[in-house]
Amino acid sequence: VRLDASRAAAIAPGQAVDVVLDHAKGALTGEVAEIAQAIDPTAHAFTIKIDLPTDAQVRSGMFGRARFPGRPRRLITVPLTSITRNGQLTRVFVVDHDDTARARLVRLGSEANGGVEIFAGLEPGERVVVGPPPTLRDGAPVNAHHADGARP
C-alpha cells in the first residue's frame, strides 16, 4: 500500500495493521513487513509492504485497504469523471460563485471506489463539474446543480 509521508514516520516493521479486503467480511490483521526507503515524489507517499495471514485467501489483483493507527486524515476527493487530461496536465473544472467554469490544475493521489484523491489544486467545499463535456472551456457559464438535481 502507499502511505502518505506525514504518517509514515509513525509506522514500523512488525507493527500490526488491520486490512479490509473487498471480497472478505471483516478485517484481517496483517503485519508491516517492509517500508520503502525512497518516497514516491509524485504522490508524496511511501510504499508499505504488509504480510497477511497464510489463510487469508488473497489472489493477485484483489483490492483492499489498510487501516493504520493514528489520527484520521481529511481528504479531498472527486469522482473520476471530473478529471480531464490535456497532455501532461490534469485538471478539474471548478464552478465559481457566478456559475462560471474555471479550469484548475490538480495533483492526483490514490483512486478508490470511482473517486480520486486530490493532493493539490482544490480547497474543501469547492464545487466541481462532474463529467464535463469536451467542449467546456475556462470561463464558460454553467448551469450548476447538486448531485440530487437541486440548485445550489
Q: What is the pLDDT of residue 100?
A: 93
Residue 2: pLDDT above 70?
yes
Q: What is the mean pLDDT of residues 50-72?
A: 82
Main-chain dihedrals φ then ψ at residue 6, nearest 5 degrees: -65, -20
Residue 93: pLDDT above 80?
yes
Enter the pTM of the model: 0.56
* Edge-to-edge strand list for the sheet holding 64-67: 2-4, 45-51, 28-35, 16-21, 64-67
Sequence-ordered list of residues with C-beta below 8 angstroms from that of 72, at least 6 positions apart, any chain: none
Which amino acid would we find at residue 151?
Answer: R
User: Terminal CA-to-CA distance of the chain, rounded, Å?
Assistant: 37
Sequence-ordered list of residues with C-beta below 8 angstroms from that of 146, at least 6 positions apart, any chain: 152
Least trusted range by pLDDT, from 3-7, 74-78, 85-89 = 3-7
Compute the distance between CA of residue 152 and CA of residue 122 in angstroms, rounded to an integer.
19
pLDDT band at 20 (very low <50, low <70, confident <90, very high): confident
Q: What percent of the chain has pLDDT over 70?
A: 91
C-alpha cell belonging to residue 76: 479531498
Closest alpha carbon to 77 in 36, 119, 34: 119
Q: What is the pLDDT of residue 84?
A: 92
Sequence-ordered list of residues with C-beta below 8 angstroms from that of 125, at least 6 positions apart, any chain: none
